[in-house]
Each structure stands twice: as structure tokens, then as C-alpha cells.
Amino acid sequence: MPSLTYKEAAHRVLIEAGLPLHAHEIARRAIDAGLVVTTGKTPQATMEAALCVAVRGTEPLFVRTAPRTFSLRDPSAPAPTPSPRARKRRDRPQTAASASRTCRPNKRPPPFCARS
């Protein structure tokens, strides 16, 4: 069987477990089951990093239930909505002025801004 990604392996392990697990336990079970083949020194840290990124995704499969402990998101539960401030920032189109920091004449310019 080909090796799965850490995210796919975590999904399978958590379905089988049916309860929240610590990231190190998820990694141990995935490696023991042969779902993930690794030669790295810290597969537990890699699993935790993959789960942390997956929790912050647009449609997360996982939810953090405690520090370093993850569970599958309930499929019937609605996805969390971003805060109004985050939504406003994300929906605002980026202009050339906002993309490159410009000097403001009434404020002290940043060190990288050339004075005219």
C-alpha cells in the first residue's frame, strides 16, 4: 500500500479511534499501521504541524479539542465563520499602494522608504 499524507493518515486513525487523540498518539498509530512511511527523526512533530495547518484550513476536517489533541470535525456541524474584521481584510482587493508600503508625508517614514 502506498504511503498516505499525514493528513490522510490522521483522518483514518481518528475514524478508527472514534475519539480525540494526542498528535503523538495519532502519529504512532499511523506508523504502526503502515499508513505513513517516514525516515525523519520527528514524525510526531510533523503530524502535529500537519494537523495544525489542517485545523486552520477553509473547510477543516479536524478540530483541536485540547493542546496537541485533535478530533474529527462533526460533519453536521457548520464550519466556523471568520470574524468580521478578518472577512473584511480578506475581501478587500489589494492595490498597488497597499501591496508596497508607501511613505506617508505626515508620519515618520519607515527606514526602507526613501525621502524625497
**pLDDT tens digits, residue range 7-47?**
999 999 999 998 999 999 999 999 999 999 988 999 999 99
CA 54 and chain centroid, separation: 4
Distance CA(13)–CA(59), nearest Å, equals 19
> What ranges in the chain are assigned the alpha helix state H?
6-17, 23-32, 43-55, 84-91, 96-99
Which secondary-structure segment (H or E) carries 69?
strand 69-72
* Domain around 14: 6-72
Is residue 71 classed as helix, strand or coil in its secondary structure?
strand
Q: Look at residue 45 and tell me if it is in a domain.
A: yes
For 62-107, write each residue's pLDDT tens digit: 999 999 999 998 755 544 444 455 444 445 555 555 555 555 556 6
Question: Domain for residue 35, yes or no?
Answer: yes
Number of folded domains that form the chain? 1
Give me the numbers of helices (H) and strands (E) for the chain, helices first please. 5, 3
Q: To the nearest 5 percent, what fractions of the chain are helix, strand and coil? A: 40, 10, 50
pLDDT score at 2: 62
Looking at the domain assignment, is residue 80 inside a domain?
Answer: no
pLDDT reading at 115 higher than 80:
no
- For every residue of 9-26, DSSP letters joined together read HHHHHHHHH-S-EEHHHH
The answer to whether residue 32 is domain-embedded is yes
